[in-house]
């Protein structure tokens, strides 16, 4: 046999890893597919990279193996395979057959025995063997001619081990790995080993005595009385464990190497099953050199190249086409990731059903100023429909040139977000794959990633034109598909009246930014540094020595070995020193409270002082946070770079961070408008609970009223502690909190927490009914929705796994409440933004955080702005109870709270 490469894939291991690494996915028929999809992604990755000549996929059989016969408890106690995973095995095996890949499973043996036998056959025939698995046991098969590709972090990363790599990493030969497992055992397989011998001790013994046999031949030389006793007592168990751990390489299988040759796949069958499973992105992996595939995959060659525009006369011709069409698709090409500051290289324009154009700003004929001077009227004409993908970037670029785009009617990214808010990737490449079976080059492929990543300015004009042509064409083809789906799901009002208008609001907020008093911020940082130094010294004094407080290992040794504090929790690497553990120790020793204070201040300093300083734009003196419309599954807006929604407010130091956020000049003040208990009001309305509604209609203190109900006392007898606990119950119910979660939050017993929740639901009967009905409704429909019909799909509700199903039930209860609150505040933002513009006021909306809006108000307009805010926010939508807005003004964000 000549040279070649033989790849062996552990089917069981990779399918399990893929299933647990990826979120649960199902197709329209309710078939779970995440494991199969992840396996195939890995399959294509490794076969494309290593290009094997021979290939086989090995599987376990359900029947008992020789290991079960020798040791009845072998693999006893393993959790039953979830049905969501179990149903994917036959699907995967069917696809492997369509791939024309050899697969094998044999009664009485495991997949690793088959891999071991096949690898021996491969080596004996002069082949280079590659084994792909997620199981570290396979390292015993590594040799000069066999490499083990070990998947890490789910299925995304791979480590490659040959014999030398194993020795360098573990200081053991591959053969010694069998002895190591014999000594330390394996909990996952219920192999007992020698009690008390872990990996560290096992490696030490094997380095000295080479094997289990060597250890027992030199048993009298073993240091440590207890260790020697354990080894002597469990000698037979160690030897048996080694036998169980050893991969058999002599399984009686009759395999001809010709059967293992990697053949062309059965395309028609693969296409059919990939379509059925909704694996559209994998269709591109099927070779395009056969006629059968031409109808399935629309090659990108069908997309016409844009006409390059380099003079103003051509610009005027495009304007005439747009005026006749009454619509345009457009996309700016920016030389970087920040539309606020990076150079604009050009703009792609597609006139519907006509030509695509690329207006180039780099070769002297036209610059960005020329373009915006000519196109200003078109861009600001509300009657010309503007269509795009992530069109917020186009608005920001235009605002830089004093152009305020009007007439935005469609954004494919926002549309797809409404259709699937759990999706992680809304790129045009992904949408083209999913909807159109078109495979366009991603931005990452074009520009590269990491240190070698280029900008658009560093690639050729032709490549830029090709890229933007594809994007414009894909947006055009997606528009009708996504719009019809939105309408059919009754989300057209939400899309056209809330989400699309909101794009302009968020772009304006990003462009305007929020002024930061840099001197105050530096002063605060200096103060935090001084406090951190005092706390550090205090911790050293309590510890009796200096050490690295930020090292969990060193801290654990100080707390639990030197100071002998009770170790409440352990991790694989040592003592746990997380916040929960430290809070439990505050009653035991004062050092715990000092460490908690230290950690809090260090985080404040690094994240919110140092982080803000680096985020301030040197030209504007402001932070220009990115407001994200497609991140959360409930519809809430999030912010990043910096995240202004996570600035702490529970501690005085955290609140003081807000002091550095100030108006842009002395002519302005900040007005903060905050919805009062909006989620509880939404709950009262959705559940139609008479007691909750009455409290809000009469203006009662809802937490005091709940305390009276839960603790069965008169209103005047409610103590501050009762009110505080009732508040936790109120908001906990909104989030579907369990008795465990409430007990942890309130530091009470689970029994007490359960009693609180039971009393609450006994008094608010309609809330209890709502919780039961919404879960049932979610199970029957597959989704739940908000008052504006925003959907969230919850496949978790049909899971047989208790934890996954419980998570789905909590999300079913919470999403309509939190999502409806998000709908309301988004609608309010759109109305407030539009009204400020309509009245031509100097005041502007600059921030949204959870349930509050912040306006930078011109001092002469403050009273008008407050009236406007109260009216538009409280009347954004009609529900069964009044929406109430609390307002404050101040010279800093801190002063408005």
What is the token pair recorded at 580? 């929960």
Q: Annotate 208-222 with b (16+ C-beta within 10 A) or e (fewer).
A: ebbbbeebeeeeeeb
Q: What is the mean pLDDT of residues 846-859?
A: 96
Give me the count of residues in the chain: 897
Give the integer Cα–Cα distance in Å for 769 and 756: 17
pLDDT bin (cut points 50, 70, 90) of residue 21 is confident
Instruction: With CA atoms as reference, report the closest residue to 730 among 703, 692, 705.
Output: 703
Lowest-pLDDT range, 109-113, 168-172, 445-449, 734-738?
A: 734-738
User: How do the residues of the chain divide into helix, strand and coil, expressed in percent and rounded to 5?
Assistant: 55, 15, 30
Query: Angle at which helices 765-781 and 678-687 pack, to 10 degrees?
Result: 80
Taking only the tens place, the pLDDT of each residue in 30-89 is 788 888 988 998 899 899 889 999 999 999 887 777 676 666 677 666 556 777 888 899
More confident residue, 303 or 272: 272
Query: Which residue ranges form the domains of the chain, and what is each CATH number?
Result: 5-259 (3.40.50.1010), 264-293 (no CATH), 300-513 (3.30.420.10), 515-623+631-662 (1.20.1060.10), 663-689+781-897 (3.30.70.370), 692-763 (no CATH)
Give the integer Cα–Cα distance in Å for 342 and 231: 67
pTM above 0.85, yes or no: no
pLDDT bin (cut points 50, 70, 90) of residue 303 is low
pLDDT bin (cut points 50, 70, 90) of residue 193 is confident
Q: What is the mean pLDDT of residues 548-563?
A: 90
Residue 863 · residue 840 · CB < 8 Å = no
Strands 356-360 and 622-623: unpaired
Q: In what order do the strands lie in the sheet with 327-334?
A: 307-309, 356-360, 344-350, 327-334, 385-388, 408-411
Taking only the tens place, the pLDDT of each residue in 353-397 is 778 999 999 887 899 999 999 999 999 999 999 999 999 999 999
pLDDT at 690: 93
pLDDT bin (cut points 50, 70, 90) of residue 172 is confident
Q: Which helix (H) or strand (E) holds 349?
A: strand 344-350
What is the token pair recorded at 744? 């942890």
User: Which residues are bridge partners to 638 per DSSP?
Assistant: 628
């Amino acid at each position: 046999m000549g040279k070649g490469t033989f790849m062996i894939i552990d089917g069981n291991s990779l399918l399990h890893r893929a299933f647990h690494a990826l979120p649960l996915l199902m197709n329209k028929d309710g078939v779970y597919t995440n494991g199969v999809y992840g396996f195939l992604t890995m399959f294509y990755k490794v076969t494309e990279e290593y290009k094997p000549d021979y290939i086989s996929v090995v599987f376990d059989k359900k029947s008992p193996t020789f290991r079960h016969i020798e040791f009845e408890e072998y693999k006893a106690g393993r959790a039953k395979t979830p049905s969501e995973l179990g149903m994917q095995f036959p699907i995967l095996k069917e696809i492997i057959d369509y791939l024309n890949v050899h697969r094998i499973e044999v009664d009485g043996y495991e997949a690793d025995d088959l891999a071991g036998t096949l690898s021996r056959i491969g080596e004996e025939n002069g082949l280079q063997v590659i084994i792909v698995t997620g199981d570290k046991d396979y390292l015993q098969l590594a040799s000069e001619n066999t490499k083990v590709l070990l998947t890490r972090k789910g299925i995304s990363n791979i480590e490659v081990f040959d014999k030398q790599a194993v020795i360098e990493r573990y200081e053991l030969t591959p053969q010694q790995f069998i002895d190591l497992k014999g000594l330390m055992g394996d909990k996952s397989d219920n192999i007992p080993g020698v009690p008390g011998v872990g990996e560290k001790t096992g490696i030490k013994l094997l380095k000295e005595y080479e094997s289990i046999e060597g250890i027992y031949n030199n048993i009298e030389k073993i240091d440590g009385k207890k260790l020697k006793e354990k080894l002597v007592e469990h000698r037979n168990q160690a030897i048996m464990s080694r036998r169980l751990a050893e991969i058999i390489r002599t399984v009686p299988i009759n395999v001809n190497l010709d059967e293992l040759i990697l053949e062309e796949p059965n395309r028609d069958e693969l296409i059919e099953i990939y379509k059925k499973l909704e694996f559209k992105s994998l269709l591109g992996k099927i070779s395009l050199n056969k006629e059968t595939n031409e109808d399935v995959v629309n090659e990108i060659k069908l997309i016409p190249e844009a006409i390059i525009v380099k003079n103003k006369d051509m610009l005027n011709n495009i304007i005439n086409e747009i005026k006749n069409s009454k619509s345009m698709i457009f996309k700016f090409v920016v030389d970087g990731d920040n539309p606020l500051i990076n150079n604009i290289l050009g703009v792609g324009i597609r006139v519907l059903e006509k030509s695509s154009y690329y207006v180039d700003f780099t070769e002297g004929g036209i610059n960005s100023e020329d373009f915006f001077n000519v196109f200003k009227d078109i861009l600001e004409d509300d009657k010309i429909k503007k269509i795009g993908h992530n069109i917020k970037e186009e608005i920001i670029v235009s605002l830089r040139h004093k152009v305020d785009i009007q007439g935005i009617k469609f954004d494919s990214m926002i549309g797809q977000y409404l259709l699937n808010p759990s999706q992680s990737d809304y790129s045009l490449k992904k949408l083209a794959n999913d909807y159109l079976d078109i495979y366009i080059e991603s931005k990452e492929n074009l520009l590269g990633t990491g240190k070698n990543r280029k900008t658009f300015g560093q690639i050729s004009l032709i490549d830029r034109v090709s890229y933007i042509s594809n994007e414009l064409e894909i947006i055009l083809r997606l528009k009708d598909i996504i719009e019809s789906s939105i309408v059919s799901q009754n989300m057209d009002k939400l899309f056209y009246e809330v989400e699309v208008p909101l794009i302009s609001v968020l772009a304006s907020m990003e462009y305007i930014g929020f002024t930061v008093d840099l001197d105050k911020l530096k002063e605060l940082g200096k103060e935090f540094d001084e406090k951190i130094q005092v706390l550090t010294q205090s911790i050293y004094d309590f510890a009796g020595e200096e050490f690295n407080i930020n090292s969990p290992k060193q801290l654990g040794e100080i707390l639990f070995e030197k100071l002998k504090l009770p170790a409440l929790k352990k991790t694989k690497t040592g003592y746990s020193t997380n916040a929960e553990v430290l809070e439990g120790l505050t009653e035991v020793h004062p050092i715990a409270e000092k460490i908690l204070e230290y950690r809090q201040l260090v985080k404040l300093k690094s994240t919110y002082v140092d982080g803000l300083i680096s985020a301030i734009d040197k030209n504007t003196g402001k932070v220009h946070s990115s407001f994200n419309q497609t991140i959360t599954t409930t519809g809430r807006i999030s912010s990043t770079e910096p995240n202004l929604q996570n600035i702490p407010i529970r501690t005085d130091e955290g609140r003081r961070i807000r002091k550095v956020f100030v108006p842009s000049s002395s002519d302005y003040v900040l007005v903060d408008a905050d919805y009062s208990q909006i989620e509880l009001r939404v709950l009262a309305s959705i559940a139609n609970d008479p007691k909750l509604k009455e409290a809000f209609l009469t203006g009662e203190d809802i937490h005091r009223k709940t305390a009276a109900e839960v603790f069965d006392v008169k209103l005047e007898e409610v103590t501050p502690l009762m009110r505080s606990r009732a508040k936790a119950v109120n908001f906990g119910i909104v989030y579907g909190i369990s008795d465990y979660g409430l007990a942890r939050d309130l530091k009470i017993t689970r029994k007490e927490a359960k009693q609180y929740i039971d009393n609450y639901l006994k008094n608010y009967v309609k809330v209890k009914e709502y919780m039961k009905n919404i879960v049932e409704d979610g199970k029957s429909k597959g989704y739940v929705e908000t008052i504006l019909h925003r959907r969230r799909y919850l496949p978790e509700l049909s899971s047989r796994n208790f934890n996954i199903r419980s998570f789905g039930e909590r999300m079913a209860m919470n999403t309509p409440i939190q999502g409806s609150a998000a709908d309301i505040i988004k609608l309010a933002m759109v109305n407030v933004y539009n009204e400020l513009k309509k009245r031509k006021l100097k005041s502007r909306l600059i921030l949204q955080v959870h349930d509050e809006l912040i306006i930078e108000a011109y001092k002469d307009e403050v009273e008008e702005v407050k009236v406007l805010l109260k009216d538009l926010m409280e009347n954004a939508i009609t529900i069964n109870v009044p929406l109430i807005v609390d307002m404050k003004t101040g010279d800093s964000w801190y002063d408005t709270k």
